[in-house]
Amino acid sequence: MEKRQLVIIGSGPAGLTAAIYGTRSGLDTLILESGLWGGQVNNTAEIENYPGIKTISGMDLATAMREHAEDLKAEFRNCEVESLFLDGDSKIVRTDKGDISADAVIIATGSTNRKAGFKGEDELAGRGVTYCAVCDGPMYQDASVAVIGGGNTAVEEADYLTQFASKVYIIHRREELRANNMATERALLNPKIEMLLGWVTEEISGQDAVQGVKIRNLKSGDRKEIAVEGVFVFVGTKPNVDFLKDDAVKRSPNGWIETDEMMETSVEGVFAAGDVRDKFLRQVVTAAGDGATAAMAAYDYISNQHFLKSALFEPERAVALLISSIEGDHLALAREAEDWAKSGGARIVTIDGHRNLRIKEKLGVRELPAIVEIRSGRKTREAKPSSVGDIKDFCRGLGA
C-alpha cells in the first residue's frame, strides 16, 4: 500500500495552507481533492477581507495558494476520499484511486451551504444572491436586502447586516422564528428589520443582478414582490463529512468536527482544519490559520512518534522521566537527572508530560513527576521520584 507521512483531504484555503506548512517542515505531503483546487473561494467573485490584499477574485487567491504549495513540492492528486479507517497508530485513507497509509491526516473538507431551491437562486448566485453576511454585507451599504430563513444564523446575520443596509427583510415560511429568544428579541427591537413571517419565497427576480424577491403568503395565498438588491440565504450549512463514520472522530450534535487548539481531533494524529471544524467564524483567513496550526501539530506528532518509537518502544529496555515543564522543581529534577546520566549514570529519556498528554496516557502515568521502566515496548515499573536520589535508586533496581 502507498505510504505517506502527511495526507491532507481537501484543497481549500485550509488544505493548501496545511500543504505549504507541511512541505516547508520537510514532511512528505500529499493533498487530495475531489473538486476544484482551491475549494469554495472559487465561487467568490471578490474577497475583500484577506489581510494584506485589499481585493482579489476568489479564483486568483485559490490559484496563488495552489501555486505556492506546488512550488514547495507538495504533491496533488485529484480523487475522492471515500472513507477513513482509524485503528490505533494506523490511518488508512480510502480513495476512488486506491488506499493510502498515512502517519498523520488533516481533514480539510470544508462545508456546503444548503440551497433553498427557488427560481433565480442559481442564476443570480454571486450577483446578489449570497450565503455569507460577513463576506458580502459591506457591499450593501444603504441598500435593501432580504434574508431567507428563520434559524439563529439567519436572525443573527440579519441583525449584523443592518450595520450596512438601510432595510433588512427576514422572510420565513413559518409564523414563528426558530432562533433563540435573545437573537429574536434583538431582531424584533431593530427598527431596520422587517419580519415577513408565514411568507414563502417563490422567485428571486432580476436579469444580471438581483432586483427583488417574489413571495407568497402561505395562509392567504396573497403574492407580492419586494424590491431588494441582495438576498442572503441561510437555510443551513453542513460539514462535508459523508466519508466519515459517525464515531470515527468526535463531532458536535450538528456534525462539525471537534478539535483542540492544536486542531487535533479525538483521534491521535488526525487533525481537522477550516470550515469542517466546530468553530465560530468560517472565513478564508481562519481556514488558513487552522491549516497552518494543523500542519505544525502534525509535524510535531510525527516527529514525536518517531522519537518515542526509537527511544522508548523499540529498545529492549528504556527508562523515561516524565515531568511537567511548567513546574520549576520538575525542571530542576530533570536537570539533575541529566547531569547524573551524563556522568555515567543510566540513560534516561526526559519527556514533558504536560505537553505530551497522550504519551502520559499511553504509559498509564497519572501524576507527574514519574519515572518508568519500559521493556520491549511495555511499561514494567513506575515510581514517583522526589529527588535525584530516588531516580538513582530506581535505575539501580533495574541493574541499569
Ligand X SMILES: Cc1cc2nc3c(=O)[nH]c(=O)nc-3n(C[C@H](O)[C@H](O)[C@H](O)COP(=O)(O)OP(=O)(O)OC[C@H]3O[C@@H](n4cnc5c(N)ncnc54)[C@H](O)[C@@H]3O)c2cc1C
Active site residue 132: yes
Active site residue 79: no
The correct pick among 109, 144, 153, 350 for binding ligand X (CB under 6 A) is: 109
- Phi first, then psi, for residue 336 (nearest 5°) are -65, -40
User: 262: burial class by Cβ within 10 Å (0-12, 13-18, 19+)?
Assistant: middle
Nearest to 127 by CA among 211, 201, 186: 211
Q: Residue 11 or 293: which CB sits closer to ligand X?
A: 11
Among residues 28, 60, 79, 132, the one annotated as catalytic is: 132
CA distance 163 to 391: 64
The correct pick among 7, 287, 292, 337 for binding ligand X (CB under 6 A) is: 287
131 binds ligand X (CB under 6 A): yes
The correct pick among 6, 7, 8, 9 for binding ligand X (CB under 6 A) is: 9
DSSP reduced 3-state for 392: helix
121 binds ligand X (CB under 6 A): no
Binding-site string for ligand X from residue 216 to residue 255, where x marks contact by CB under 6 A and - marks none: ------------------------x--x------------
User: Which residue type is seen at 150?
Assistant: G
How would you classify the pairing of strands 98-107 and 270-272? parallel
CA distance 57 to 75: 25
Q: Residue 43 or 217: which CB sits closer to ligand X?
A: 43
Task: Tell me how far, at minimum, the Cβ of 296 lies from ligand X, in Å.
Answer: 17
Nearest to 172 by CA among 187, 162, 189: 187
User: 31: burial class by Cβ within 10 Å (0-12, 13-18, 19+)?
Assistant: buried
Q: Do residues 96 and 31 touch, judged by C-beta distance below 8 A? A: no
The correct pick among 25, 28, 49, 325 for binding ligand X (CB under 6 A) is: 49
283 binds ligand X (CB under 6 A): yes
Q: Which of residues 17-46 bind ligand X (CB under 6 A)?
A: 32-35, 39-41, 43-44
The three cell numbers locating residue 208 = 444580471
The correct pick among 7, 27, 47, 168 for binding ligand X (CB under 6 A) is: 47
Active site residues: 132, 135-136
Residues lying near ligand X in the complex (CB under 6 A): 9-15, 32-35, 39-41, 43-44, 47, 49, 80-81, 108-110, 113, 130-132, 135, 240, 243, 274-275, 282-285, 287
